[in-house]
Structure 1
Amino acid sequence: MLEAGGPTQVQHADFHFVPLLDGLGPEISQHLTSVCVSVRRDFLCLFRDLIDKLNSNRTSEGAEDASPPVTCIVSDGFMTFSIRVAEELGIPVAMFFTISACAFMGILQYRDLKDRGIVPLKENSYITNGYLNTTLDWIPGMKDIQLKDLPTFLRTTDPDDILFNIIMESADNAPRATTTILHTFDVLETEILRAVSPLFSSIHAIGPLQLLLDHKAPADPLRAVDYNPWNEDTECLKWLDSKETGTVIYVNFGSIAVLTLEQLIEIGMGLAMSKYHFLWVIRPNLVVGESASLPPEFAAKTEGRGFITSWCPQERVLNHPSVGGFLTHCGWNSIMESIVAGVPMICWPFLGDQQTNCRFCCREWGIGMEINEDVNRVEVVKLVKELMEGGEGRIMKERVMEWKQLAREAVGPDGSSAMNFDKLLHILS
């Protein structure tokens, strides 16, 4: 983020960036297992030492620029070491889960699923033999949900799998926090929020953050700071300016998901055969172990119709009038940004909460269409055309525009997210 020009640009008297070094290189830090190992092994001591350092600097005699004491912690929901430190200090801690409420409810089931003997899987064949189609009819707010629809870290045969266990432990420990924050808004996930609320002493839905920031602190210099793992290419915005309204399909699979070269080619040729304009983000490490090389026929078929970049300002892209659809991995930030922009989606989930998000986008909220896991160019063409010009695509566009309006109402002065945010501040003050 520092190299991409984020926090170094900030000049703000009351806000400071202080890093906790995970000891991982830039490439390894994209590997979830390595990150989890580092967090579990090192971060309790690192974080406790940081808090002690901040508090000791405050009490240094003669320190004119001393900071106030640490009186509150706002932590990522999966960084459960912060709860222990807060308890040691006797200060409030808010656990902020930057996932959907439906995905949150999904991870809350991990312990129960393990106790019932449903997971871990008995053998790897359970992933493909239909076992994941098992219906789980006891989860409140998730009617007809299947095992395959829950966050995918439970798809392991190893009871000691670190990703499975760190997610389960995070869910187990979440109720110990002073309060819990979810990045969603009440009307979008009403049933789930109603079902999960009794499990916590305090829980607040305060999304979409993009819109809430505009209402709460429109003039704050921090609002304009972008945090990205790679430099953003803004030339794509000029390219979008040259295209007519609703004629571009935007393609981005996020910062972690990886493709095989075959999948990349199938997506690419599907875009080529669709005849639509497209803006495609192909980050440097998108393809597993190989360069992201597309065949010569792709270039021939897409000349003048496509723009490929390594990273882009996604919020600005989705809000550009020329963008009519979004082919996404279903990361929650991407979905929220798409709802805020009023852009319907083609969903191709890879891992984690993306599968749950996809299920709700397509079946509950009516704003997405799912691609099969074994993607092929013919299917890509079919879905792109349906999204951009078909009857189902028009219905999805209408629905996402309705959700867009409801999201704006949620962050308004009397909206649920705005009021929840004020309640949150009161609890933590």
Structure 2
Amino acid sequence: MEQTQPRVPHVVLLPFPSLGHIKPMLSLAELLSHASFQVTFLNPQQIHDRLLLSMDMPAFHRRHPEFEFLSMPDPVRPSRDRPPPGLFSLHDKILSLGSVIKPALGELLISFNQEKGRRQPATCIIADGLLSSPVIDVSEQFEIPFFPLRTLSACCIWAYFNLPKLVEEGDVPFQVADEDMDKLVTCIPGLENVVRRRDLPGIFRIKRANDPALESFINDQTLVLPRASGLILNTFDELEAPVIAKLGSHFTKVYTVGPLHGLSTVRINDLIPLASGENILWKEDTSCMTWLDSQLSNSVIFVSFGSVIILTRDQMFELWHGLVNCGKPFLWVIREDSVIGEDGPSLILGKLKDMTGDKGLLVSWAPQEQVLTHPAIGGFLTHSGWNSTLESIFAGVPMICWPAIGDQQMNSRFVSDVWKIGFDMKDSCDRSLIEKLVRDLMEDKREEIMKSVNEIKKLAHEAVKEGGSSFCNLDKLIDDIRLRSHLAHNNSEGKK
């Protein structure tokens, strides 16, 4: 009997349309492409267009010839002024995305099944965990495995799974103004003596536990996850082992493959992957690298609050005064859309630049991975987004954490009190505290904190090198996808 050629695995990936979610998904997509998979990367039209403009597509396709970027319609969002980032705006965005994902993904899968060209039928779908509800419905309809990628810490996901217990114990709901924010939360297994009320995920800071947006978020983005074929996490075993083990009881398989940016660099011919930089959606100001070259080793505090956080005029000036008063040169990333106030963003930014002079450098965006590995960087004042946290860990840079939303509150607690690689100043924006923490980080407590930083950096690098936990877990994911592709091929041949 004539042997048919095995089917090439074809993975369809759908990131949540935000930089912090697209970046790790794109790194994972590159790794799968490097494993000789066909890859389809699906985005709403606006994000798709920005990716095509910001990336060197000819160079990308020379390295990844079986990688295709496709678009789906942009979701229709409510016509109102941009709300501050938080649960309600996230809820609106997820709902609007769900309305276009189901038909667009379904049509795409049908087209792959009918196509007679080089594109194989889809082997599996990897989508951001925030899109789990609409994607898992489509995957079950087409009998295609679904693997959610959660782009946040395992400890935060575990807190989401324990929301019913938190409500039962009266820890949720709560509000900052009228509750004991330092009360220890004792009902999350494995985290009994770690998490305070103020460290719980930002979406729990609500007025009532039966809030429709919160219920939808937990049901559609968390409790639905065990229906998937496995869970992919951008973390590594040695960093969050106890919590990862707890999550493992809810899933058939858990693939810890982080830090994805480090794993990409190691596995793709020891080169910097083309999609790893921050430049995929934002234009970088690379002049900051030249400025860093002129600074002393470990002398600069790097300040960046990511691609979403919005600051008030008062917060901006408290941060600025704290940085100036500490006497350390600073590199501060301030997006043009990150400032609100009666003066207007341009006037506020202009005044800050005039006041800064030679005390530091303000830029609109920076190549963060490169900045963190520069010898001049001695510390990182961060919003504690998970990408930034992992990048800082991998670079061996201690952190001062000023979290705002989502998983950032949990991340900052683990940075300061579990891993002991930084300080946490959540729910405060006071110039004297900022000055003190920068001095502690850069001078007074540096020797002590760098011991932990260097130990965890070593663990992160060992995880992604050949034989390391994340390296091997990616191989398991690749092998499992290949096996599913092989089984699907045999089933289709058997029906002929």
- TM-score (structure 2 length as normaliser): 0.78
Specify the code of the residue in structure 2 equivalent to 1:173.
V
Partner of residue 95 from structure 2, selected from 21, 40, 50: 40
Determine the structure 2 residue equivalent to 1:83: 136
**Contact kept? 2:303, 2:331, Cα under 8 Å:** yes
Equivalences for residues 275-424 of structure 1 within 5 A: 275-289=327-341, 290-291=344-345, 293=347, 302-390=356-444, 392-424=445-477
**Contact kept? 2:153, 2:235, Cα under 8 Å:** yes
Which whole-Å CA distance do the structure 1 matches of 2:83 and 2:471 have between them? 34
**Contact kept? 1:54, 1:70, Cα under 8 Å:** yes
**Contact kept? 2:401, 2:426, Cα under 8 Å:** no
Determine the structure 2 residue equivalent to 1:211: 262
Verify: 1:137 aligned to 2:186, yes or no. yes
1:160-188 Cα offsets, whole Å, 9 max, x none, are 34256314431111111100011111111
**Alpha-carbon deviation of 1:49?**
2.8
Verify: 1:146 aligned to 2:196, yes or no. yes
**Alpha-carbon deviation of 1:349?**
0.8
**Alpha-carbon deviation of 1:374?**
2.9
* Structure 1 residues without counterparts, runs of 5 or longer: none
Verify: 1:259 aligned to 2:311, yes or no. yes
**Contact kept? 2:263, 2:471, Cα under 8 Å:** yes
Choose 152-161 or 102-111, whichever is displaced more. 152-161
Identity of aligned residues (%): 35
Q: Return closer, same or farther for 1:303/1:165 CA change in 2, 3 Å cut-off.
A: same
**Contact kept? 2:101, 2:135, Cα under 8 Å:** no
Q: Return closer, same or farther for 1:347/1:235 CA change in 2, 3 Å cut-off.
A: same
Which whole-Å CA distance do the structure 2 matches of 1:350 and 1:229 have between them? 22
Q: Return closer, same or farther for 1:219/1:395 CA change in 2, 3 Å cut-off.
A: closer
Specify the code of the residue in structure 1 equivalent to 2:54.
G
User: What SS does the aligned partner of 1:251 have?
Assistant: strand
Determine the structure 2 residue equivalent to 1:107: 160
**Alpha-carbon deviation of 1:417?**
0.8
Verify: 1:119 aligned to 2:172, yes or no. yes
1:214-262 Cα offsets, whole Å, 9 max, x none, are 2222368953554543211111011111111111100001111111100
Specify the code of the residue in structure 2 equivalent to 1:137.
T
**Alpha-carbon deviation of 1:18?**
1.6
**Contact kept? 1:154, 1:164, Cα under 8 Å:** no
Choose 184-193 or 210-219, whichever is displaced more. 210-219
Verify: 1:235 aligned to 2:287, yes or no. yes
User: What SS does the aligned partner of 2:310 have?
Assistant: coil
Which whole-Å CA distance do the structure 1 matches of 2:283 and 2:395 have between them? 22
Equivalences for residues 162-177 of structure 1 within 5 A: 162-163=213-214, 165-177=216-228
**Alpha-carbon deviation of 1:428?**
2.4
**Contact kept? 2:415, 2:421, Cα under 8 Å:** yes
Which whole-Å CA distance do the structure 1 matches of 2:404 and 2:473 have between them? 32
Q: Return closer, same or farther for 1:182/1:42 CA change in 2, 3 Å cut-off.
A: closer
User: What SS does the aligned partner of 2:345 have?
Assistant: coil
Q: Return closer, same or farther for 1:106/1:372 CA change in 2, 3 Å cut-off.
A: closer
Q: Return closer, same or farther for 1:77/1:58 CA change in 2, 3 Å cut-off.
A: same
RMSD between aligned residues:
2.7
Determine the structure 1 residue equivalent to 2:54: 6
**Alpha-carbon deviation of 1:129?**
2.6
Verify: 1:69 aligned to 2:118, yes or no. no
Specify the code of the residue in structure 2 equivalent to 1:109.
N
1:397-417 Cα offsets, whole Å, 9 max, x none, are 221111111111111211111
**Alpha-carbon deviation of 1:30?**
8.1
**Contact kept? 1:78, 1:167, Cα under 8 Å:** no
**Alpha-carbon deviation of 1:274?**
1.4
Verify: 1:53 aligned to 2:103, yes or no. no
Choose 98-107 or 191-200, whichever is displaced more. 191-200
**Alpha-carbon deviation of 1:207?**
0.7
**Contact kept? 2:379, 2:442, Cα under 8 Å:** yes
**Alpha-carbon deviation of 1:7?**
4.2
Which whole-Å CA distance do the structure 1 matches of 2:225 and 2:181 have between them? 27
How many pairs align? 421
Q: Return closer, same or farther for 1:115/1:171 CA change in 2, 3 Å cut-off.
A: farther
Determine the structure 1 residue equivalent to 2:5: none
Specify the code of the residue in structure 2 equivalent to 1:216.
R
**Alpha-carbon deviation of 1:29?**
9.5
Specify the code of the residue in structure 1 equivalent to 2:475.
D
User: What SS does the aligned partner of 1:16 have?
Assistant: strand
**Alpha-carbon deviation of 1:298?**
5.9
Determine the structure 2 residue equivalent to 1:92: 145
Choose 286-295 or 303-312, whichever is displaced more. 286-295
Which whole-Å CA distance do the structure 2 matches of 1:351 and 1:218 have between them? 36
User: What SS does the aligned partner of 1:53 have?
Assistant: helix
Determine the structure 1 residue equivalent to 2:11: none
Specify the code of the residue in structure 2 equivalent to 1:340.
F
**Alpha-carbon deviation of 1:52?**
2.2
**Alpha-carbon deviation of 1:13?**
2.4
Specify the code of the residue in structure 2 equivalent to 1:16.
E
**Contact kept? 1:22, 1:39, Cα under 8 Å:** no
Specify the code of the residue in structure 2 equivalent to 1:150.
L
**Contact kept? 1:99, 1:353, Cα under 8 Å:** yes
Which whole-Å CA distance do the structure 1 matches of 2:253 and 2:359 have between them? 50
Q: Return closer, same or farther for 1:407/1:324 CA change in 2, 3 Å cut-off.
A: same
Which whole-Å CA distance do the structure 2 matches of 1:170 and 1:399 have between them? 34
